[in-house]
A and B are shown apart, each in its own frame.
Chain A
Amino acid sequence: MDRSQGDNAPVKIRSVSIQNFRGIKNCEWKLDRRLACLVGPGDSTKTTILEAIGLTLSRSYRPRFGDADFHRCNTEEPIKIEVAVAELPDALIAEQSLGKDRSGIGPNGSFQHDPQEGTEECLIVRMVVDQTLEPRWTVVRPEEGTDEGKPISAAQRRALGFFRLGEDSDSHLRWGRGSALNEVSEDTDEAGGVVLAAHREARIAAFDAIPSQLQEAAGRVQKASRKLGAGPYRALRPGLDPAGSSGRFPLLLHDEVIPLTSQGLGTRRLTGIAIQEQAVVGGSIIAVDEIEHGLDPHRLCHLLRYLKAATKREDLQVILTTHAPVTIAALEAADICVVRSEAGKTTVAAVPSDLDEVQGAVRHAPSALLGRRVLIGEGATEAGFIRRLCGYGDERRGALDEPTSITAGVEIVNGGGGDQALQRAIVFSKLGYPSAVLVDNDDSEIDARVAEAENAGVVIVRWSSGRAIEDEFAHSLSAAGLREFVALGIGNRGEESIRAQVEAQLGKAPGDLEGVDPFTWTEEGADEEEALRMALAAAAKGTKAKGEGRGEEARREERSAWFKREDHGERLAELWRAHHAEMREESALPEVLEKIKAFVYGG
């Protein structure tokens, strides 16, 4: 398995099919990437998928199975897992091995019986466990009977180079095949004492008696670990495990005299990955459950960058699960696969790689992919507004011990502008996240996209016709509320510029207005108040006044708008909370809020 022997890329998994395994009644996953990060809410069976792959590609002769490994403990229905692997090593392609048992994967991901031209050669490895709890591994071809297949030996599976890095990463720190040590009891009885004393002597002697190959291996690991940021080891070398003397694999990595088992979890995991990488030169597949486990954010980012680079070079395939927004933010949208489980059926949906709008969405709100439902505000204002509202709702419900938006797994996302917000909502909806979007109603250009979003199942929440959030507030607030509205604007942008904007909107000469009370800026009277509210709304949106813009069309300008940050949106929510009792009747705010509430808390 020396990589220099061929220019083939190392083995990679192309599809996974699982039946009746633990929480999964059924799961079909096709993947075409070297990096796949599985995300999804808790209990979405992400880890079970890793387990299934691991057992099927297991290099172990006999992993143990129990009744609980069967879906709903029903042993009548056998566990059946099929993993298709491509980019096969020469050792498996030989005619004496499994060369005549290859199938093909067509460009659309469908299996072909033979590896014809234009298809990707693959082996479909099947593991079946029936009531006897004895696993059987075979290589099968598509469209063949269930009992067909050619046995694949543990040695042949080993050639696939699959490694699983789970909680048990310490097993990789010792010389041996993953077996835990017989732990020497720390009893102080005489025999124990003798053993212990002898063991201490042996430990010292062992350092000197290590064959050079082992020492070289330790040196390679030290180098690789450094690359991964595992820590500045002084001198990695093999030594006898101080915790055990009678195990089959008592040799353990030490840094000088300190066994690596004494290192922190993160360091141990990183070193474990480094060792595995060294062990499988020639390429392999690494599966990591909860990659962030034990790692601080900068180490995590470093590891992810490292793994991503390795997958880009086609040196590795990495399948990982995560619950950390940091992980998602560090990856590309296309690296991410959303896992959901409903009534035993697990679906794995890849985030489409050709959708740039998603990339933005993921970067801006990585945690959205970790939630269950996604609520998108058109822009920062709306997102902040909704976030604060949910805060209020959660406070009230929390006090009543009712589910909150957090327990409901609602993630609030900044849509990044009308059309883009809708596109993101469509993408999330297609990935299986129930999605809602709050968008303005003052721009008819997005109507087509609104219809598309509705078709995709997105819940659309809009202000009344022709209005944006600023319009809605400027027209709904009581006089006191309106004064605060203006005060907020002044707080964000300064007195001078606010007055200048309103002067332009009201058609007044520069310097005509004084003070900060908007009701002093016009004559009294219903018509005048209406004109004032329109002017304030327009100013708050940053609309250029007639004559100011280049064309007839009124144009909004982001940098002169009053509320374009999430915290501004939050202030608006506070404003609503303070004044909602005295809203003017025409307001659409209560209806909009009701819809949002229904989406967040259900019903």
Chain B
Amino acid sequence: MDSYALLIAATLNAGTVLAIASLGLLINEKVGIVNLGAEGMMLCAALAGFAAVVHTGSTVVGFAAGMAAGALMAAIFGVLVIWLNTNQYATGLALSLFGGGFSAFAGTGYVQARLPEQTAWAIPLLGDIPLLGPALFRHHPMVYVAMALTVGLIWFLYRTRTGLVLRSVGESPESAHALGYPVRRIRLAAVVAGGALCGLAGAYISTVYTPLWVEGMVAGKGWIALALTTFATWRPARVLLGAYLFGGVTMLQFHLQGAGVNVPSQFLTMLPYVATIVVLALISRNPTWIRVNMPSSIGKPFYPGS
């Protein structure tokens, strides 16, 4: 039974990265902007975070550096897409490709660096409960931050006025503009916030999850996070659950190998991606459902003058 508790723990850990990044992308898409540059932002943030910890020894500084890197890249993306009205998909892709190349390039000096030893985290008392303790209460604070973030986002989007304005910008920027809201600035704020969260996820990967730097270490998690927002029909709670699901599938393939199950490992590795495709097909099938759940202005440029 112990090993199941540990499997759950590993799942939560693996899912945290996806959850934080995906929530950031959710904020973007709620205002109607698709940022395909998630992978590039996460890579640069991973490097920034790692470098910051190498130089200052503080994980908090590392997270801050990661968020700053993500926010900066998102800001560049935002200006291009919102003010210069460049194609969102192409610009996002450029961000991903550039981020990948730049992080590999700038990171060459850090490949052999090591981080100071990590403390083992555990909530006192709760962490000692048999089974539940190791599964749920012995995690790095960021795991709980992801959960808190989800709750916070739900409250913000659906219970505050600002959240309502944000969503209305995503549904119909023209109407929001007519009502006098600074649509472009709101969109930029959302994009930057989303970038900061992607950056946080990236920094977590390189400073906590695998405390090493190597180029390409995000290994496609940015793209999965993008798929997650659609998979979760743009609802924060579903994003968190979906993230854990995907994290679980990743850990499952090794668990099965260790247990001697003889499925070729490649099919296990394929699972998260195939699952995403299946779910995408299922949820997109119903155009009404999509119209109800998907922010209407996704991907479309906004021209204030029109």
A and B interact physically: no
What residues make up the interface of B, taking CB atoms closer than 8 Å to A? Answer: none
